[in-house]
């Protein structure tokens, strides 16, 4: 057991993967000497050299496109996209090429690559630095999409993502980078398993990434009022671990999905639809969603109003319990 921040967890996880497998290479803007703008790759270029921690030109299509080529040649590239809002120049490569290569080649080609994206708001940034775009990629068949929420998962999930022979979009909750947590010496679960982070009986809160902490705080506050909430950290968005979610909702009868992304066609829409199909007879209330509004991410002075907070989660819980 060791205690570390999420950023350090990823850093240590990358280091472990690179030590294990010489084919693992890191690529991205400013990841070398600077250690990335969030310092997640701090010290790695110093220890593994410029050939394995590659400072790329400022071009995201180039980063992902060349990573595809490296993967075709047998490397395992782990690319860093500096901010969520800068993934779009590479979007075409991810959805048209990365996602489809295996099917197109009838399974002859694998693309074991990881695309790391700091996600979400809450850090007072200017525009394009606070987006939640996981649904675009979860919507695209051929990709795995995961999101860590704590140091333990940061450390183990990044290694599992690198070990995966399928391409993985790896989201990192940027406003939680500096949150500390305990990291166990062995992985506690697989990459594609949801985690019940708090047991409860009255309703299930379903979240991932930055919202897991918010939901745990909400559950804490609800407990003070005698409400007993279960909290699930999804961890994997595609494929979705519906078994874990459904088991919980069948127990509690109520579900509230919480994410930062806009609700319209977001992860919550998929989860609500899947739950009503699977757990219809167990549901005491409609599955509710709490998310960002269906607006462009606002100027940072308004992000606290825009992003779901503890109060909005509790409000939804009350509405659910009122049915």
Partner 1 sequence: MSDNAVAGATSVEHEDEVLAELTAPVPEVGDGGPEMVQLLTPEGQRVENTEYDEYVKDLSDEDLRGFYRDLVLIRRVDAEATALQRQGELGIWASLLGQEAAQVGSGRAMRPQDYAFPTYREHGVAWCRGVNPLNLLGLFRGVNHGGWDPNEKNFHLYTIVIGAQTLHATGYAMGIQRDGDVGTGDPERDAAVIAYFGDGATAQGDVNESFVYAAVNNAPVVFFCQNNQWAISEPNERQTRIPLYQRARGFGFPGVRVDGNDVLAVYAVTQQALNAARSGNGPTFVEAYTYRMGAHTTSDDPTKYRVSAEVEVWKHRDPIERLKSYLVHTQKADQAFFDAVEVEGDELAVAVREGCLSMPDPTPESMFDHIYVEEHPVVEAERKEFAAYHAGFTQEGGH
Ligand X SMILES: Cc1ncc(C[n+]2csc(CCOP(=O)(O)OP(=O)(O)O)c2C)c(N)n1
- Single out the residue of 2, 16, 34, 285 in contact with partner 1 (rule: CB under 8 A): 34
Residues in contact with ligand X by CB under 6 A are: 29, 58, 60, 82, 86, 89
Nearer to partner 1, 146 or 314 (CB): 314
Is 139 among the catalytic positions? no
Alpha carbons 75 and 78: distance in angstroms, whole number: 10
The strand pair at 195-198 and 53-55 is best described as unpaired
Nearer to partner 1, 243 or 304 (CB): 304
The answer to whether 29 contacts partner 1 (rule: CB under 8 A) is: yes
Of these partners, ligand X, partner 1, none, which one is at the site of residue 57 (CB under 5 to 8 Å by kind)? partner 1
Residues 39-78, one symbol each (x = binds partner 1 by CB under 8 A, - = not), give: ----------------xxxxx-xx----------------
Q: Measured from the CB of residue 56, what is the shortest distance to ligand X in angstroms?
A: 10
The answer to whether 264 contacts partner 1 (rule: CB under 8 A) is: yes
Residues 181-200, one symbol each (x = binds partner 1 by CB under 8 A, - = not), give: --------------------
Omega cis (within 30) before 239? yes
The strand pair at 255-262 and 203-207 is best described as parallel
CB 300 within 8 A of CB 124: yes
Nearer to ligand X, 60 or 270 (CB): 60
CB 211 within 8 A of CB 186: no
Of these partners, ligand X, partner 1, none, which one is at the site of residue 126 (CB under 5 to 8 Å by kind)? partner 1
Alpha carbons 246 and 250: distance in angstroms, whole number: 6
Q: Measured from the CB of residue 42, what is the shortest distance to ligand X in angstroms?
A: 17
CB 60 within 8 A of CB 89: yes
Nearer to ligand X, 80 or 241 (CB): 80
Helix (H, G, I), strand (E, B) or coil at 24: strand
The answer to whether 163 contacts partner 1 (rule: CB under 8 A) is: no
Using a 10 angstrom Cβ sphere, with 0-12 exposed, 13-18 middle and 19 or more buried, the burial of residue 74 is exposed
Residues 291-310 touching partner 1, rule: CB under 8 A, are 293-296, 298-303, 305-306
CB 188 within 8 A of CB 163: no
CA distances from 23 to 55, 68, 85, 114, 152 (A): 17, 14, 29, 13, 24
Nearer to ligand X, 89 or 286 (CB): 89
Give, in degrees to the nearest 5, the angle at Cα 244 between 210 and 229: 60
Q: What share of the chain is helix, strand, coil (3-state, %, to 5)?
A: 40, 20, 40
Which residue matches tokens 């990192």? Answer: 172
Nearer to partner 1, 105 or 264 (CB): 264
Catalytic residue among 128, 129, 139, 259: 129
Q: Which residues bind partner 1 (CB under 8 A)?
A: 29-30, 32-35, 37, 55-59, 61-62, 85-86, 88-89, 124-129, 264, 293-296, 298-303, 305-306, 311-312, 315
* Catalytic residue ranges: 129
């Amino acid at each position: 057991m060791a205690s570390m921040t999420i950023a350090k967890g990823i850093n240590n996880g990358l280091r472990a993967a690179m030590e294990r497998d010489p084919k693992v290479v890191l690529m991205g803007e400013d990841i070398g000497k600077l250690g990335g703008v969030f310092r997640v790759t701090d010290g790695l270029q110093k220890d593994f050299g410029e050939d394995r921690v590659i400072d790329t030109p400022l071009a995201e299509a180039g980063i992902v496109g060349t990573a595809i080529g490296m993967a075709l040649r047998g490397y395992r590239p782990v690319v860093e996209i500096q901010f969520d809002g800068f993934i779009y120049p590479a979007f075409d490569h991810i959805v048209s090429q990365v996602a489809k290569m295996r099917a197109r080649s009838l399974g002859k080609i694998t693309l074991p690559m990881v695309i790391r994206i700091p996600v979400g708001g809450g850090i007072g940034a200017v525009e394009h630095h606070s987006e939640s775009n996981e649904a675009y990629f979860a919507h695209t068949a051929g990709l795995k999409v995961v999101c860590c929420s704590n140091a333990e998962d940061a450390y183990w999930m990044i290694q599992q993502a690198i070990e995966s022979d399928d391409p993985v979009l790896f989201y990192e909750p940027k406003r939680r980078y500096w949150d500390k947590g305990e990291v166990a010496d062995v992985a506690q679960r697989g990459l594609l398993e949801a985690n019940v982070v708090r047991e409860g009986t009255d309703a299930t809160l379903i979240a991932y990434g930055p919202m897991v902490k918010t939901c745990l705080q909400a559950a804490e506050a609800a407990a003070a009022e005698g409400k007993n909430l279960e909290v699930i950290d999804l961890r994997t968005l595609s494929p979705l671990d519906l078994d874990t979610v459904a088991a919980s909702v069948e127990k509690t009868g109520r579900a509230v999905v919480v994410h930062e992304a806009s609700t319209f066609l977001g992860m919550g829409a998929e989860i609500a639809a899947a739950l009503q199909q699977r757990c219809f007879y167990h549901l005491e209330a409609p599955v509710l969603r709490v998310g960002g509004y269906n607006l462009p991410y606002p100027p940072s002075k308004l992000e606290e109003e825009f992003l779901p907070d503890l109060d909005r989660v509790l409000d939804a819980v009350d509405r659910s319990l009122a049915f």
